[in-house]
Chains A and B, each alone.
Chain A
């Protein structure tokens, strides 16, 4: 059953790809621009706190920095409605499979921000026995936000960079 579903999903992907190609030729840039513009200002992040960097995400969502101004919420409950995952710091061996699972469950198109030194290289905990040295071994990362913890302004810059990337996205399907 699972296999059949996967095949179905595969055909669906192919179909989307085909439609995509046709649309590319037929309507081209205006539609892509419109779709990207829509995605750009409605980034909904998954609520996945992994370590201490989540404090600065909380501060960024507060009334002083207010990341909602830039078209992104702090966090949202349901995975299926989300298209952004901000990895807030250290990913341990126990959390890593869950992180992969959560990433896989999200609907396309989806983006990843690696926040903090820990999620980029392991940071302070590079020699700890239980910490992953960077999350890009398990999921693809779009924007890296360095710092330990990054200031709220740095996170905002990361989000603006990601929006710049989405604006230039070449295809409709997000691939």
Chain B
């Protein structure tokens, strides 16, 4: 099979025009794509990432395990619980701690709430790039109900910092359980409306069917994860393959589509949210009693060793590799983020497409530059 980075053009041909898209461009935020165009067609595209590289991994080495919590959720602020989930799992593994079951359930609830928040943002902006203004106004508004629910539970808007090593930060208030169940009921009806107005819309089909097709083999070759892989027919889901925390207690499916185009990548997000709602409802109904966290103290000492942990974040597989030398600070912290994995497919997908399709394909990869650059 063909790989993406081989070039198929001669640079001295007069027809080819080199254009830089971004970092200031409505179709590409905090990110640049270098394009070589032949008329309205893209001959070659090279992504230029790194505008938001903030040195998270290095910073992790001079903060202790608890101080690391707030800055480690910033790379993917839309999905802040899932990135902390992987970190906490790693630290728990190093410390050999046994998390109380109420804490486990609350972790799952928060991580699924965050998955919905992240996917809502994703399909809102996908609607914007497809010229579907209804979707961005609806989704951005509805997303706030979930953010509110998270705020009721964790006490902060967007940056929850809820999942920490040793459990969760605080218990869930009683009224939030009820509010959560109500939000679930309302949201399931709402998603039917999204299907009608967005996914069954002929205009959306025309603009995204068959645009940026990633076949199953290509998805394997590029190492795609998450929504991108599932839209191409790969049933990848860490929650199923390697259940962590208490995911084995819940009933849910891994949605898989086979088209592999931009429409499928957006639709997988909706199917994902349906499963998330199911998980949240089950977890809220069956929430066990008991403590929610272990007592760790402000400067926990972590025994020497190394741990690799992974979770299924909204965008795909999020992984941490933590090395400890027995001091209160990590010796090495490596974050493996799904956005960076999915970015590899971009130069391949942006070949022989119209310029107008670039934002659609780019955003359908669910790429979040801040996360990819760390």
Contacts and interface: CB of A to CB of B under 8 A. Distances in A.
Given A125-B54, A128-B54, A130-B53, A55 B138 contact: no
A94 interface: yes
B144 A54 contact: no
A51 B370 contact: yes
B141 A63 contact: yes
Contacts of A61: 140
A56 B158 contact: yes
Interface residues of B, number: 37
A79 B59 CA distance: 35
B55 A77 contact: no
Interface string A126-138: 0111110000000
Given A63-B140, A148-B159, A92 B26 contact: no
Contacts of A148: 159
B78 interface: yes
Given A47-B25, A48-B23, A77-B25, A59 B144 contact: yes
A128 B144 contact: no
Interface of B: 23-26, 29-30, 50-55, 58-59, 62, 70-71, 74-75, 77-78, 121, 124-125, 136-141, 143-144, 147, 157-159, 370
Most A C-beta atoms less than 10 A away, residue of B25, B74, B138, B157: B74
B50 to A, nearest CB: 6
* 8 pairs of A and B residues whose beta carbons are closest in the complex: A62-B140, A49-B29, A63-B141, A52-B77, A128-B55, A63-B137, A49-B30, A77-B26
A96 to B, nearest CB: 10
Nearest to B147: A59
A146 to B, nearest CB: 14
Given A63-B138, A90-B52, A47 B70 contact: no
A62 B141 contact: yes
Most A C-beta atoms less than 10 A away, residue of B24, B62, B143, B159: B24
Contacts of A92: 51-54
A124 B136 CA distance: 30
Nearest to B52: A51
Interface in A121-175: 124-125, 127-131, 148-149, 151
A50 interface: yes
Contacts of B136: 62
A90 B140 contact: no
A105 to B, nearest CB: 9
A170 to B, nearest CB: 30
Contacts of B144: 59, 62, 64
A73 B29 CA distance: 17
A45 to B, nearest CB: 11
